[in-house]
Amino acid sequence: MMTKMMSKLALGSSTALLAVAVIAPACVSRGQGVAERAGQALDDVGRGVRRGLQNAFARTRVAVDNQEVISRVYSRLHWDKMLVGSTLELEVQDGGTTILRGAVPDASAKQRAVVLARETVGVNQVVDELTVLPPTPTHVIPATPSAATETTTTTTKTIVKP
């Protein structure tokens, strides 16, 4: 970003110097009217360079502000124990609008993620695009043995680790 601003500044300065080099000899021979036009042209170039730098600075400031907000929201969501098992994606737009995407284990985790984001400094609005994962079975109930398998009954149990 800084290289782009420096390039614009260098281009503006080069243009101004070129204008002076071309117009200065004519100003001496033709009188005050040409000098005034040359001065006006240089003023216009200077104003254009200034506006370009101000716009670039404003865009950079917004990008930095958004990074600060996303860092704060990320930190709050990352360290909350209620959100273990969640897969979250964050997006912060201009003006502090935060979009939450991803999947959470249950409705209370979803509500917690939205509340944490909403209460974060710099967030003005939260867009909730979270989905609640279907519950995973913690154990498997053995099937009733059929007549053919009564003599060799086996029981299985599935252990799901979070």
Whole-number Å distance between alpha carbons of 65 and 26? 49
Give the chain's end-to-end CA distance (angstroms, integer): 43
Element housing 49 (H / E): helix 32-78
Residue 94 tokens, joined:
């201009």
C-alpha torsion angle, residues 13, 16, 22, 25 (rounded to 10):
-110
pLDDT digits (tens, 9 = 90+) for 22-62: 665 555 555 568 888 888 888 888 898 889 988 888 888 88
pLDDT digits (tens, 9 = 90+) for 92-150: 888 889 999 999 999 999 999 999 999 999 999 999 999 998 877 665 555 555 555 44
pLDDT digits (tens, 9 = 90+) for 56-75: 888 888 888 888 888 899 99
